[in-house]
Structure 1
Amino acid sequence: MPASLALALALAAPVPRAHAHNDYEHPRPLHDALAHGFRSVEADVWLTREGLLVAHTPFGLKAGRTLQALYLDPLRARARANGGSVHRNGPPFYLLVDVKTDAASTGAALAKVLADYADVLTTTRDGKTERKAVTVVVSGNADRAALTKAAVRHAAIDGRPADLDGDAPAELVPWVSASWGSQFRWDGAGPMPTAERDRLREFVRKAHAKGRMVRFWAAPETPAVWRELVAANADLINTDRLADLRAFLRTEDRPRTSP
């Protein structure tokens, strides 16, 4: 990437709906997403003897690629440099931690690690939440029970469709996530069937009524699908194609009205 383009991207306004799926697989984990203005990144973590390592599968685990080194340390440094925000004067930033190993043991290790970054992480203490530069959301093998009952926590829960009708506070379950294929059959070819479009918009409406955001994973990565997600006011759009999604959203997104 030419230096001039890298600088332009670094200074560009954030793209509020953009979520970097499996962000650690990009050439520069975190930094590529930040340069493109993404407000959310995803890291798969595995509990090992060396701590919480980031990789897609056990075969990809490498010494030194810890959650701290790849994400927490640079996010803290950037937030401090930007006066308390990941994107200067931008929307809240999210770090989605997808737990791949045992929920209880990994959750306990994650809680200990996150406590060391309390200065920049959204924190809930005795039911009162203080929003900070980065909100961590735990997905995958999340220890939901431990997070729910913790007197002090530095992470929230990635909800599922059942949470559309649940009563957990939005500070505990700020998102509702689902695989695209579990909800829809449309693959982006031709127009979206009316019944499925209505279902998508009702899904988003119900989540927003509870103060929750919406994210679908494994959705077809096409402008047609992105356009329907924007029209439905879905909050986060998963992608591995950072530049393509940024370009699309910068030209076709509309002002946000959701969390």
Structure 2
Amino acid sequence: MKSLFPFFILISLGVSSSFAQLRPLKNAHAHNDYEHEKPLFDALANGFVSVEADVYLIDNELFVYHNRPKNPSQDRTLEKLYLKPLLERVQVNNGSVYPNYNDFFFLMIDFKTEGESTYKALKLLLQKYESILSVVENGRKQLDKPVLVFISGNRPISTILSEDINLAVLDGRPSDLGKEISPEKIPVISQNFNHFSKWNGKGEMPNEDKMKISQLIHSAHAEGKKVRLWAIPDMPNAWQTLMDLGVDFINTDKLKEFNRFMNKESGNR
């Protein structure tokens, strides 16, 4: 029975027997991850390297919900759904979220309540998990830890930019480009796809729309920042088109479908 113990540990952490062979998908961002049956674990089981969670500060605690709950459940805290499982995952995998994966795992936290108070509570919580978090020092130095937390929604922009040490950084907007903000403070630039195009994902995207997106990508990449577009047509033709343009994170709710699509594409190369 002793030899089975590690296997049961892996199962308890949501790790399948094929996990070691799972290929992390560098373009995969799990939109509304917390609405899936097993938040975080469903994304991890499909190789996603970026997930997002909407949070509300209620009675000094951070709860993960899309809409503000009347009676928040202790099973829906940010700590229970994301931070604690990530810590356990990193411990099992010898310092990585995925075995032998040396890039960041991105945890995007979308603040639905007021930015400063929510950030104050988040900082206190993140201090318990500092051992796995990428820490930014003086806006430049990034320590080599596996999880990078960045904040969207009601962002406490000036506070984070003015801090010497950050356990969490910012989800940027196109308006943040050209301001000499380091990619350590703003690692990702996000924008609504509809800002560029009304394309429904079928056939070819209009060239004019491609040019608008390409301009954003060029500007962001020149500053060392990744690009994520939300509200995209959530289908394979759109995924491929956006990746061909150079979009770094494909925002999708279809975890299994995207995993199959990416592995099929990899097999065809």
TM-score normalized with structure 1 length: 0.91
* Gap regions ≥5 residues in structure 1: 255-259
Q: What is residue 71 of structure 1 aligned with on the other side?
A: 82
Equivalenced residue count is: 251
- The match for 2:43 is 33
Which residue identity lines up with residue 115 of structure 1 in the other structure? Q
In our comparison, the structure showing a higher alpha carbon Rg is 2
Which contiguous aligned blocks of 4+ residues in structure 1 show a shift greater than 4 angstroms?
Answer: none
Q: CA deviation at 1:59?
A: 3.0
C-alpha distance in 1 between matches for 2:266 and 2:117: 41
RMSD: 1.9
Give the secondary-structure state (helix, strand or coil) at the position aligned to 1:64: helix
Residue in 1 that maps onto 2:8: none
Contact 1:98–1:139 at 8 Å: present in 2 too? yes
Query: Does residue 1:166 correspond to 2:179, yes or no?
Result: yes
Identity between Structure 1 and Structure 2 (%): 39
Which secondary structure does the structure 2 equivalent of 1:42 belong to? strand
Asked whether 1:189 is paired with 2:202, we answer yes
Contact 1:54 1:65 (8 Å CA) reproduced = yes
| Worse-matched range after superposition: 61-70 or 34-43 | 61-70
TM-score, scaled relative to structure 2: 0.88
Q: Deviations over 1:53-102 (max 9, x none)?
A: 00100137423311111100110111121111101122310000000001
Shift of 1:6: 4.8
After superposition, give the CA deviation of every residue in 1:198-233 in whole Å (9 maximum; x if it has no partner).
222222121111000000111110112111111012
CA distance in 1, matches of 2:177, 2:29: 21
Q: Secondary structure at the match of 2:136?
A: strand
Provide the secondary structure at the position in 2 that maps to 1:98. Answer: strand
Gaps of 5+ in 2: 1-10
In the alignment, is the contact (CA less than 8 A) between 1:188 and 1:220 conserved in 2? yes
Corresponding residue of 2:252:
239
Q: In the alignment, what sits opposite 2:30?
A: 20
The structural deviation recorded for 1:9 is 5.4
Write the deviation string for residues 138-196 of structure 1: whole angstroms up to 9, x where unpaired.
00001011111112210110000112333100000000000111121212132111111
Q: How does 1:138-217 map to 2 (within 5 A)?
A: 138-217=151-230
